[in-house]
A and B are shown apart, each in its own frame.
Chain A
Amino acid sequence: EDQVTQSPEALRLQEGESSSLNCSYTVSGLRGLFWYRQDPGKGPEFLFTLYSAGEEKEKERLKATLTKKESFLHITAPKPEDSATYLCAVQAGNGQNFVFGPGTRLSVLP
């Protein structure tokens, strides 16, 4: 069974304090790993897609990396506006549906 776990459940950082969020997965034939940002009361917004181990993608203060078993979302010098829940999802090679992790709730304090 395809599974996705995320850690930590919640993370509190001071502004400028860099850190990483983890997404661990077990899936039969990874087709893609997706990162989303979700603000309270809103739908998730797409951040990155990673397809193969070793791949990295960057967007402003965020950098996503992928290995065969996990993905990391690195946040460099975060700002309060980076506060949100970050969701990870995997798409197995045998189908179209995604499996979502429970998310990491990030709070960046000024």
Chain B
Amino acid sequence: DGGITQSPKYLFRKEGQNVTLSCEQNLNHDAMYWYRQDPGQGLRLIYYSQIVNDFQKGDIAEGYSVSREKKESFPLTVTSAQKNPTAFYLCASSHPDYGYTFGSGTRLTVV
């Protein structure tokens, strides 16, 4: 079945540590996105990519980095510069006619 796979489901980060969240899709979608979700807030866009080897900052890109070396993969790195990284992270891909397909999310906690 086509879909988006995010891993790991749960991730714990120590202070000052960089961590990478994985996102893989087999939908053959060109566009991919990373969102952050905090309680009581809407999804906020971190980064997006419309084609391989190209990506743009979203509304809250500071402290995050991404790469898009393959169409299927769009990993997100949460760097030590992100001061409040505890959140639920969602990866999505989109088709112009069918909207977004989301992964199952990664819950990141700072310990």
Which A residues form the contact surface with B (CB < 8 A)? 4, 9, 32, 34, 36, 41-46, 49, 87, 89, 91, 96-103
Cβ A102 vs Cβ B42 within 8 A: yes
Contacts of B88 in A (CB 8 A): 41
Q: Chain B: interface secondary structure?
A: strand
Counting CB contacts under 8 A, is B105 at the interface?
yes
Contacts of B41 in A (CB 8 A): 102
Counting CB contacts under 8 A, is B80 at the interface?
no
A39 to chain B: closest CB distance in Å? 10
> In whole angstroms, how far apart are the Cα atoms of A102 and B33 in the complex?
18
Contacts of B33 in A (CB 8 A): 97
Cβ B42 vs Cβ A34 within 8 A: no
**B23-64 vs A, Cβ < 8 Å mask (1 yes, 0 no):** 000000001010100001111010010100000001000000
A87-B43 contact in complex given A96-B50, A96-B94, A98-B100, C-beta closer than 8 Å: yes
B29 to chain A: closest CB distance in Å? 11
Cβ A43 vs Cβ B43 within 8 A: no
Contacts of B107 in A (CB 8 A): 41
> In whole angstroms, how far apart are the Cα atoms of A42 and B45 in the complex?
17
Cβ B99 vs Cβ A43 within 8 A: no
B35's nearest neighbour on chain A, judged by CB, is: A100
> In whole angstroms, how far apart are the Cα atoms of A4 and B33 in the complex?
19
> In whole angstroms, how far apart are the Cα atoms of A97 and B35 in the complex?
11
**B76-100 vs A, Cβ < 8 Å mask (1 yes, 0 no):** 0000000000001010101010111
Cβ B40 vs Cβ A43 within 8 A: no
Counting CB contacts under 8 A, is B104 at the interface?
yes
A41-B105 contact in complex given A100-B43, A101-B42, A102-B40, C-beta closer than 8 Å: yes
A45-B100 contact in complex given A4-B42, A100-B42, A102-B40, C-beta closer than 8 Å: no
Contacts A36-B100, A42-B105, A46-B99 aside, 20 further interface pairs with beta carbons under 8 A come to A4-B42, A32-B99, A41-B88, A41-B105, A42-B104, A43-B102, A44-B90, A44-B100, A45-B102, A46-B98, A49-B98, A49-B99, A89-B43, A96-B50, A97-B48, A98-B99, A98-B100, A99-B42, A100-B35, A101-B42
